[in-house]
Structure 1
Amino acid sequence: MTSPTNSTYPTPFERGDGNYTTTWAECIAFYELLAERFPGVLRWWQVGTSDSGLPMHAGLVTADGVFDRSTLSEQGRPVFFNNNGIHAGEPEGIDACMALVRDFCLEPERLVALGKTAFLFIPVYNVDGCVNRQSTSRVNQLGPELFGFRANGRNLDLNRDFIKCDSLAAQVFNRFFTTWDPDVMVDTHTANGADYAYAMTLIPTQPDKLGGGLGDFLRERMLPAIYSDMQGRGWPTCPYVNLLAETPDDGIEDFLDLPRFSTGYAALHHTIGFMPETHMLKPFADRVAAMRTLVEVVLDFSVAQAVRIQQLRCEARADAVRRTQWPLRWRNDHERPASLRFKGYAAVRAPSRLGDYQRLTYDRTQPWEKDIVHIDRCVEERVVTAPKAYLVPQAWREVIERLEWNGVALQRLDDDRLFDTARVYRVEEVSTRATAYEGHMFHDHVLLSTHSEAIQAFAGDMLVPLDQPRARYAVETLEPEAHDSFFRWGFFNSVLERKQDHISAYVFEDTALQMLADEPALRQAFDDWKAAHPAQQSDQQSVLWFLFVHGRRHAEPEWRRYPVAALI
């Protein structure tokens, strides 16, 4: 149970009026004081530096004062990870974590209850956003009086950056997460959207996407226990209200947590992740209390079931080593709807005073409770046969370093080598967002063709074998059709450009005639093109460009050829 405010070492939130969240400087000073006073309970250290040059910190609490990562790993100790402040304008977790760590230091029975579990935390992940303090960026949020900003110093949303790692923070996080390899993660947030009765909603790692025994355990054991315990502790909780239509009356569906998000990233490492979302319109003090309760509930379950969770993670990794098929894309399964008992408010529509339309409001004087549709399943949309390994040419160092940050086993070739058979992709079509998305022109649609060929590799190129526990991360970043592949994020955009992009028509006219004589396939393709585009036959540039691009004589092998090969 959550303890009342402890008068010894009160947090800035506790000293306030219920509508104050700590500043970054206050937060760091608070933990530094605790670490100094309670060195046998709390280890505190700097893990990196933000894009704005500010230190990033982490803390670790154990019941027996063992803080060395190697020792904890040798002892097989479970790790529970609490990440806070990724969106610094959603600060409930920052304040809740401070009070919880303080109570570990002051209450022996609470500390002993951890057992062998290590409580690992990042107090403020988005340091840059936390120091960008104001009161207006969260348009629809009720308190606190001042809070941080959603983006970091490069105006990046860090909860979209776990794969591409544009920010120094994400690069730090990738290495930190891989080193500590948490069994369970809670990443704290505040929700926008509809109005309803719950102060707390929850996004878990989608169980179908997590897969196997671990996914079944999450769906059948862990989630029911969390919802029941939250109800018993006075904070009824429901799944995140991801609407099917305009209001909850029409139902909700599970949030498809792609690897760009914290819970989707955790799934790549076979970690059970939770993204609790308090409701923006509930009083800030209630949101902090609900958040602390949620963290405690998940922690208590994780401690009690630590052996089982670790066992299931080991099984998931063993399965990854021998797996022959990997899902690349998922979608919500609307063919298997479930039912959810939900507490909402009447949706009321009335003429707007601003324009000629009906506006929506929720009437809290008209509460309702009824069963609504809940799409709680996901289904595989695209599956790929796993190769023996991937070959990543050394030129793509940004890709290689991200694989390394995530613990993927790599083999550097010592000598040049010819691989007889490899699966190679060519990019036939790609559709890119019209506007920038988190610093990239993201590729929403990718159409590939596949063929087999021999591949010449060179000393220094990297092999990524898939008979390894980190295979899932490799597959979901290196297969170009995967939701958040490196290709979709634009890491390989240069292969989409033809480098020789000019021809002199008066010279190439004769060359094109000779190409048609030498290349029967080009002749057939040209005849088909003329039949399909009769109007373009009078345009010399169109005619010559078609022949230049589709002929073999001046082909650029690298153009639209995906450079990562799958060795089969």
Structure 2
Amino acid sequence: MTATPHPLYPTPFESGNGNQTATWAECIAFYEQLAQRFPGVLQWRRIGVSDTGIPMHAGVVTADGVFEREALQRQRRPVFFNNNGIHPGEPEGIDACMALVRDFCTQPERLAALGDTVFLFIPVYNVDGCLNRQNTSRVNQLGPESFGFRGNGLHLDLNRDFIKCDSLAAQVFNRFFTAWDPDVMVDTHTSNGADYACTMTLIPTQPDKLGGTLGDFLRERMLPAIYGDMDRRGWPTCPYVNLLGETPDEGIEDFLDLPRFSTGYAALHHTIGFMPETHMLKPYADRVAAMRTLVEVVLGFTVAHAARIQGLRRDARAAAALQARWPLAWRNDHSRPATLRFKGYEAVRTPSQLGSYQRLAYDRNQPWEKDIVHFDRCVEEAVVAAPRAYLVPQAWREVIERLEWNGVLLRRLEADQLFDAARVYRVQEAVPRPNAYEGHMFHDRVVLATHTEAFQARAGDVWVPLDQPAARYAVETLEPEAHDSFFRWGFFNSVLEKKEAFSAYVFEDTALRMLQDEPALKHAFEQWKVAHPELLSDPQAVLGFLFAHGQRHAERGWRRYPVVALM
């Protein structure tokens, strides 16, 4: 397929050879021209700046020329949000969105079909990466001729930054997303990996994680309609090819979209999210056409079922405010396999010319179609009893501001207050990944001990009630065991360090007295000696154990998670 130039306001993609994408400057100038020419259709606005000081923009399209968010929300208008260019090396969505917005401006019947629905879009989210253009960073990708880079100005992947918000872009996005509160989101991407027949694959918000009747609606109504409509429009689509083994014929499983990713982040706000992934080995013009079709299909479904989606979202928020237990971690459920009709290519293996192994390739001259296993369910792996509220000490300002950016209702205590029953966590083990991950030493393994005690809060500390619409965001960021909690991302790492030490030559006598005065320490020490006889000749190891586990010199804040749950 090749691009066909549009007679009015052609995009750079349409004006080229079907293998070119708009630069950031071309994209912004295009929308500025449309906004000036069609002020009753498109409002164009600056929403912030990136880490390198580049403006970030968003656009709003409505059929009746009402653009102000407060007015639209008073009218309870449904909002469809299209995010593009989070990975500028995957630019199909940038070009598809330009053409779609142009057609809203120039085709009255297309605009009218929006009805009450608001078409909200970010044309290029990662503006830093979009300016870093070349044609080699996406290894083996088939076009376009030049494209942007995944990393932003801080060399961060913005599709890992939605919770930690290290980048200015993510901070802008958190506030923007929360303010507009979209009902449905499509965040456009390109996939690599195995070769197969479909140009388009799709990652939806995982329905089990989304939960309740909203998750059921996504699984039972929305996804079948999207797949069916894509097939009828000539772009058959399959679930994202998340391999169980080395090749698709071994089966696939749902992508577990954690809150660090756009669709997982959307789920914290009870928004239905989609991450379409076109296949990088298909011609660029085909990928753009498939992406535009996908956006149109999801938009069309949203327009047709807006009232139902909005009602289910309201129900989900109401249920969250009353929830008695909260899932914190999920896993793919391999006990309930489904089947998926899949069109693939024969995997062939030949001796490598680089090493002594068999290389894998896919032979497009040997296509196949058959049922493969598809694990499309997820189950809870960890849950917690819902507290009445959380208490965040005011010292943890970065945590508090992220809660505020995401619409979590907070209250500052006006006076010191003693709470009788607080769930307190002590961190027994926090094991980070061996290498830095997106600027953090992310804690892959967290082991906690829990107890209840009275808690003295100070005036200015932050009360976070859970009988509120944003309860899910609060729970999944403040509970340390949750997949993408603030604790896992290292926001509380300072409590993992003991601040005081000892001088061995004077501590020896103190340690002996501690063993006499603290029976629990003596018992623990005897067990430690049996388990570690090789360390008994190391005075730092012996004295270090007694110093760390004794009560006499205990540091109350060491390994104590600062946020408490009020029961």
Q: How would you bin the TM-score normalised by the shorter chain?
A: over 0.9
Q: Deviations over 1:394-418 (max 9, x none)?
A: 0000000000000000010010111
Instruction: Please state whether the residue corresponding to 2:438 is helix, strand or coil.
Output: coil
| Paired residues of 2:332 and 2:375 also in contact (CA < 8 A) | yes
The offset of 1:249, in angstroms, is 0.6
The offset of 1:529, in angstroms, is 2.0
RMSD: 0.9
Q: Give the residue type in structure 2 aligned to 1:278.
A: T
CA distance in 1 between counterparts of 2:251 and 2:34 reads 46
Match of 2:152 in 1: 152
Match of 1:102 in 2: 102
CA distance in 2 between counterparts of 1:482 and 1:544 reads 35
CA distance in 1 between counterparts of 2:360 and 2:531 reads 51
Q: Deviations over 1:16-75 (max 9, x none)?
A: 000000000000000000000000000000000000100000000000000011110010
Q: Deviations over 1:312-341 (max 9, x none)?
A: 000000001100111000000011000000
- 1:430 correspondence with 2:430: yes
Match of 2:120 in 1: 120
Q: Give the residue type in structure 2 aligned to 1:295.
A: V
- 1:528 correspondence with 2:524: no
CA distance in 2 between counterparts of 1:253 and 1:493 reads 34
Match of 2:539 in 1: 540
Match of 1:200 in 2: 200
Match of 1:81 in 2: 81
Q: Give the residue type in structure 1 aligned to 2:533.
A: P
The offset of 1:162, in angstroms, is 0.1
The offset of 1:4, in angstroms, is 6.4
CA distance in 2 between counterparts of 1:539 and 1:209 reads 49
Instruction: Please state whether the residue corresponding to 2:381 is helix, strand or coil.
Output: strand
Q: Residues 389-400 of structure 1: matches in 2 within 5 Å?
A: 389-400=389-400
Structure 1 outlier segments of 4+, above 3 Å: none
Match of 2:296 in 1: 296
CA distance in 2 between counterparts of 1:295 and 1:415 reads 51
Match of 1:142 in 2: 142
CA distance in 2 between counterparts of 1:134 and 1:170 reads 24
Instruction: Please state whether the residue corresponding to 2:321 is helix, strand or coil.
Output: helix
Q: Residues 276-295 of structure 1: matches in 2 within 5 Å?
A: 276-295=276-295
CA distance in 1 between counterparts of 2:553 and 2:57 reads 55
Q: 5+ residue gaps in structure 2?
A: none
Q: Give the residue type in structure 2 aligned to 1:528.
A: Q
Match of 2:368 in 1: 368
Identity %: 79
CA distance in 2 between counterparts of 1:365 and 1:187 reads 33
TM-score by length of 2: 0.99
- 1:489 correspondence with 2:485: no
Instruction: Please state whether the residue corresponding to 1:60 is helix, strand or coil.
Output: strand
Match of 1:174 in 2: 174
Match of 1:414 in 2: 414
The offset of 1:5, in angstroms, is 4.5
TM-score by length of 1: 0.99
Match of 1:334 in 2: 334
Match of 2:68 in 1: 68
Q: Deviations over 1:268-301 (max 9, x none)?
A: 0000000000000000000000000000000000
CA distance in 1 between counterparts of 2:275 and 2:375 reads 18
Match of 1:319 in 2: 319
Match of 1:381 in 2: 381
Match of 1:224 in 2: 224
| Paired residues of 2:393 and 2:462 also in contact (CA < 8 A) | yes
Match of 1:350 in 2: 350
CA distance in 1 between counterparts of 2:264 and 2:530 reads 48
| Paired residues of 2:4 and 2:14 also in contact (CA < 8 A) | no
CA distance in 2 between counterparts of 1:517 and 1:370 reads 72
CA distance in 2 between counterparts of 1:181 and 1:212 reads 19
Q: Deviations over 1:509-543 (max 9, x none)?
A: 12112212221211222222223223322322222
CA distance in 2 between counterparts of 1:26 and 1:165 reads 28
CA distance in 2 between counterparts of 1:296 and 1:430 reads 45
Q: Deviations over 1:185-232 (max 9, x none)?
A: 000000010000000000000000000000000000000000000000
CA distance in 2 between counterparts of 1:276 and 1:217 reads 19
CA distance in 1 between counterparts of 2:115 and 2:464 reads 38
The offset of 1:431, in angstroms, is 1.0
The offset of 1:137, in angstroms, is 0.4
| Paired residues of 2:5 and 2:15 also in contact (CA < 8 A) | no
Q: Give the residue type in structure 2 aligned to 1:513.
A: L
Q: How many residues align?
A: 565
CA distance in 1 between counterparts of 2:255 and 2:424 reads 33
Match of 1:557 in 2: 556
Instruction: Please state whether the residue corresponding to 1:515 is helix, strand or coil.
Output: helix
Q: Deviations over 1:462-488 (max 9, x none)?
A: 011001110000000000000000000
CA distance in 2 between counterparts of 1:454 and 1:369 reads 63
Match of 2:20 in 1: 20
| Paired residues of 2:235 and 2:290 also in contact (CA < 8 A) | yes
